[in-house]
Amino acid sequence: MSDTVPGIALAEIASRVGAAVEGDGTRRVARVGTLEHAGPDAIAFLANPRYRAQLAVTRAGAVIVAPADAASTALPRLVAAKPYLVYVKVATLLHPPAAVEAGIHPTAVVGDGARIDALASVGAHAAIGARAIVGARTSVGPGTVIGAGAEIGDDVTLHANVTVYDRCVVGPRTMVHSGAVIGADGFGMAEEGGRWLRIPQVGRVVVGADCDIGANTTIDRGAIDDTVIEDDVKLDNQIHIAHNCRIGRHTAIAGCVGIAGSTHIGRNCMIGGAAAIGGHISIADGTVIGGATFVTSPIEQAGVYTGMFPALPHREWKKVAARLRRLDELADRVRALERTLASRGEP
């Protein structure tokens, strides 16, 4: 193909993502696609063997495959031991984020003493509180609110309608999606005489570098000390992290997880969707928690933990539930039988 054709030559891509190239290294691709729907200007990937049959019929201009699948296609290809990881790097290369257009929209409101870097972008109707700091090349989306004294690092992306409360910190290169709330009050109440007294929440939320915070995720500020999200934590949509939690570096949490207050999640953990984590417990580094699992006590040893009961046809589930309700009765009968046998001297 001519150099005037859009896209990047496969050989150049290979050198930049750490893969081997087989076939026509001059083939140019401009975007990524799936094996099923990619066109000649796209590169697709095969990471799941269930889709191997699509490799023979794909219309993609090039593919990313593992060494074991390299001989299964005549298409130009990138070959790597971890094709999905290479796909991620290729997608990042071919679909880079839009450059930040520096400047403050005329409808934005900037408080006294706020410091906004000259290379930052502040969108329409955004509000920057007094004494807040916004770093270089950071993008503050339309309608986003940054509270007084908050600190937003360099190269941060705050999408539209994000709220960062007073004094909270967001580290460099972090991305926060729309509707997320960082630093709302934790749920702290004390009962007196039949009514609730609100406990002031005087801590902050401190988010580290290179984090992702999904849409409508909420992270509560600490009651006294800070709620801390360490570097490279990845949070999906609609997660709730309560006050005084600490989420360890390189931990990933899927959507709809709820984490109660003062819980410490270790580093390099993975937590499945809709899991519920009780308060005032610690979870060891490297722990994997399955979706919809309810954790009520500390996990001191890394491993895979699952508490979800898989779905069954309704009639079968009713039978299982009926038997579960009789477990206490059955345990009592077994203990009584054991005592009877012991009294007779029988094993």
Residues 222-242 have pLDDT tens digits of: 999 999 999 999 999 999 999
Q: Which fold has domain 8-94?
A: 3.40.1390
Helix or strand holding residue 183 (H, E):
strand 181-184
Residues 260-302 have pLDDT tens digits of: 999 999 999 999 999 999 999 999 999 999 999 999 999 999 9
- Specify whether the CB–CB gap between 230 and 248 falls below 8 A: yes
Helix or strand holding residue 295 (H, E):
strand 294-295
Phi, psi of 170 (to 5 degrees): -120, 120
C-alpha–C-alpha distance, residues 155 and 172, integer Å: 6
Per-residue confidence (pLDDT) for residue 5, from 0 to 100: 61
Going by their DSSP bridges, the two strands 8-9 and 28-29 should be labelled as: antiparallel
Per-residue confidence (pLDDT) for residue 1, from 0 to 100: 40
Task: State the pLDDT confidence band at 151, using cuts at 50, 70 and 90.
Answer: very high
Average pLDDT of the segment spanning 110-133: 98
Per-residue confidence (pLDDT) for residue 270, from 0 to 100: 98
Whole-number Cα distances in Å, 33 to 38, 44, 45, 63: 5, 5, 8, 10
Least trusted range by pLDDT, from 2-16, 73-87, 111-125: 2-16
Average pLDDT of the segment spanning 73-97: 97
Residue 32 clears pLDDT 70, i.e. is over it: yes
Residue 113 clears pLDDT 80, i.e. is over it: yes
C-alpha–C-alpha distance, residues 250 and 235, integer Å: 10
Per-residue confidence (pLDDT) for residue 172, from 0 to 100: 98
Just give the CATH number of 103-305: 2.160.10.10
Taking the alpha carbons at both ends of the chain, their separation in whole angstroms is: 83
Residue 2 clears pLDDT 50, i.e. is over it: no
Residue 3 clears pLDDT 60, i.e. is over it: no
Residue 8 clears pLDDT 80, i.e. is over it: yes
Q: Within a 13 Å sphere around the CA of 34, how many CA atoms are in the beta-carbon half? A: 6
Give the pTM: 0.92
Catalytic residue list: 243
Per-residue confidence (pLDDT) for residue 346, from 0 to 100: 72
Per-residue confidence (pLDDT) for residue 276, from 0 to 100: 98
Sorted by where each begins, the domain ranges of the chain are 8-94, 103-305, 314-343
Whole-number Cα distances in Å, 96 to 31, 50, 91: 11, 29, 8
Per-residue confidence (pLDDT) for residue 102, from 0 to 100: 98
C-alpha–C-alpha distance, residues 317 and 248, integer Å: 38
Task: State the pLDDT confidence band at 134, using cuts at 50, 70 and 90.
Answer: very high
Task: State the pLDDT confidence band at 252, using cuts at 50, 70 and 90.
Answer: very high
Return the CA Rg of the chain: 27
Average pLDDT of the segment spanning 183-187: 97
Average pLDDT of the segment spanning 319-346: 91
The average confidence (pLDDT) of the chain is 96
Average pLDDT of the segment spanning 91-102: 94
Residue 146 clears pLDDT 90, i.e. is over it: yes
Per-residue confidence (pLDDT) for residue 344, from 0 to 100: 85
Average pLDDT of the segment spanning 156-160: 98
Per-residue confidence (pLDDT) for residue 250, from 0 to 100: 98
Percent of residues, the chain, with pLDDT higher than 70: 98
